[in-house]
Amino acid sequence: MGNRIHNAAYQSKVMSAEDAAALINDGDRLGVSGFTGSGYPKAVPIALAARAKAEHEAGRSFRVGLNTGASTAPELDGELALADAVDFRTPYQSDPETRKRINAGSINYADIHLSHIAPQVRNGFHGKMDVAIIELTAIKADGSLVPSSSIGNNQAWLDAADRVIFEVNSWQSEDLEGMHDVFGGLRKAPLDFAIPVFHASDRIGSKYLTVDPAKVIAVVENDTPDRNSPFKPLDDVSKSIASHLLDFLDLEEKAGRLPDPMPAMQSGVGNIANAVLAGLLHGQFENLTSYTEVIQDGMVDLIDSGKLSVASATAFSLSPEYAKKMNDNAKFYRDKIILRNQEISNNPEVIRRLGMIAMNGMIEADIYGNVNSTHIMGSRMQNGIGGSGDFARNAALTVFVTPSTAKDGAISAIVPMVSHVDHTEHDTDLIISEYGVADLRGKSPRQRVPAIIKIAHPDFRPMLEEYFAVAQKVANGQHTPHDLSQALSWHQRMLATGTMKV
Ligand code: 0RQ
């Protein structure tokens, strides 16, 4: 492990992950670094999980509360869940073991907008934060803390926690130094200043995190890579959804409804988002900027091509191949990529000001445009709302993308009524499936219905038409007609028979 701790005071606090984990108590609330598989602590959580197992075997209780930036990785969420060491989790996760326990009722999960969680902690809504565990790239001789591959809520947790453990990870490139922009001016609401981001490229903070050194109880060294899951190869459905969006943007531009250059884009994680980025690479748009949460492979390609001048985010979410490329070339990318606090990357004030285009995945939408991003059949948590709500509510053009069906065609992504609402019809401008674009702008709920049914899978279109016809006959009003006796019958049928089809 290369020595990345250049400050004598912090050097004197170096210890093993096991010794650091021993400083965490049953019932502690932890604030950990980590966002979409990057920049999370990798050694202390594993040691903590082992400790929890040993305590449980000795008949003692040992469970902690876990605040992160967003999803982490098997070494953190996975290990702690497997050890039954988590009793509370917030704000976004995608770990299978954690998901299993959330849905079994043994982990309490608070699914909070990613821009809201740090202010909520600062305002005291979540009680006391006991320990922050934050990954760093290096500690400089003067004590400056160089962040790693995500910023997330790191500064907020460093400010809030009573005790702090650092993991200094020498796998992270030292050339990341200078890429970060940590805004330290965030205080309890109300704020008496504007967040001064007027362009995606604006830097408003410091290159370094800050902490009261008296709070630091341990420094642990490691050299483990970020999780970095590879992307699936682009399938035909993702490619056709991406091409519908790009065609739509072309038409918008021709109609004079798209500013030049195109406003900053946010794209959610996953295959479809990557397909859109790949499409932009070969498309006509130049001088692109992105103001988003995560930097994906497609954005790196866009930077390389010169089409994307700046990518502002809070974390990387790269495949192993691209993570290596980033590590090898961080000096080049650090002028073009800005990693900010997630309160700033997802800040509603800034998103509104930039007049952004936001594009996120969804689980299902209803015939009026309400969107469910989180729940399977009303009750089971998939991942969480993440930053989708921060962007969907505040962007100038809010797009949801989805394959028309799930589970080999058994489930329709377009349903009479969503089984859970994350984004209301008021926020949804476009829904895009492989069958096209439903443009909901300027339409009343009833006018939206044919536009949305048109992008449903053909197997489900007649059923949706029939539902709407009956709803208009039996509803108590014609603004948003529903047949309440049948509105959730598709979900009930799926649970009873394994398909939404009749
Ligand atoms: O299940 O894994 O068992 O196969 O849901 O679905 O199609 O692989 O799509 O990975 O893009 O995820 C909404 C979950 C989509 C994601 C969601 C099942 C499907 C599969 C995943 P399997 P896909 P994706 C930026 C913005 C909220 C957060 C967000 C998400 C699994 O986009 O978490 O947007 N969004 N953040 O089979 C039953 C349906 C289903 C369904 C899909 N209608 N019914 N199951 N699935 N539709 C990032 C951050 O905020 C950090």
> Both tokens of residue 30?
């932890």
**Residues with a known catalytic role:** 293
In whole angstroms, what is the distance from residue 174 CA to residue 409 CA? 47
> Distance, CA 403 to ligand 1 centroid (Å)?
10
What predicted TM-score, i.e. pTM, was given to this entire model? Answer: 0.97
Distance from the CA of 314 to the center of ligand 1, in angstroms? 21
**What pLDDT is stored for residue 132 in this prediction?**
98
CA dist 53 and 476 (Å) reads: 56
- CA-to-CA distance for 291 and 293, rounded, in angstroms? 7
Angstrom distance (rounded) from CA 432 to CA 420: 19
Q: Residue 134 C-alpha to ligand 1 middle, in angstroms? A: 28
200-240 pLDDT, tens digit per residue, is: 999 999 999 999 999 999 999 999 999 878 778 889 999 99
Q: Which domains does the chain have, with CATH numbers?
A: 8-222 (3.40.1080.10), 236-458 (3.40.1080.10)
Alpha-carbon span 146 to 135, nearest angstrom: 9
Burial degree of 50 (CB within 10 A; 0-12, 13-18, 19+): middle
Pocket test for ligand 1, best of 363, 390, 411 (most atoms within 8 A of CB): 363
Positions at the binding site for CoA: 363, 383, 387, 407
CA atoms within 13 A on the CB side of 165: 29
Q: Cα(415)–Cα(363) distance, rounded to whole angstroms?
A: 11
Cα distance between residue 361 and residue 421, in whole Å: 14
Name the residue of 407, 411, 415, 420 whose CB sits within 8 Å of the most ligand 1 atoms, as the mutation to test its pocket.
Answer: 407
pLDDT for 1 equals: 59
User: Which is the closest atom of ligand 1 to the Cα of 382?
Assistant: 14
- Greater confidence (452 vs 228) lies with 452
| DSSP structural state of residue 226 | P
Distance 28 CA to ligand 1 centre (A): 31
- The answer, yes or no, to whether any atom of ligand 1 lies below 6 A from the CB of 413, is yes
Q: Is pLDDT at 2 greater than 70 in this prediction?
A: no
For the CA of 415, the closest atom of ligand 1 is 43
Interval 283-292: pLDDT, tens = 889 999 999 9
The average pLDDT across 406-431 equals: 98
CA-nearest residue, atom 16 of ligand 1: 361
Over 80: is that where the pLDDT of 317 sits?
yes
**H-helix or E-strand spanning residue 474:** helix 461-474
pLDDT at position 332: 96
Distance between CA atoms of residues 199 and 145, nearest Å: 26
Q: Is 364 in the pocket of ligand 1 (CB under 6 A)?
A: yes
Give the closest residue (by CA) to ligand 1 atom 33.
383
Q: Spell out the residues 6+ positions from residue 462 whose beta carbon is closer than 8 angstroms to its own.
A: none
Q: Which atom of ligand 1 is nearest to the CA of 422?
A: 27
**Span from the CA of 413 to the centroid of ligand 1 (angstroms):** 11
Would you call the peptide bond into 233 cis, given omega within 30 degrees of 0 as the criterion?
Answer: no
Distance CA 395, CA 359 (A): 9
Spatial neighbors of 314 by CB under 8 A, at least 6 apart, are 35, 69, 150, 151, 152, 293, 294, 339, 340, 341, 342, 344, 345, 346
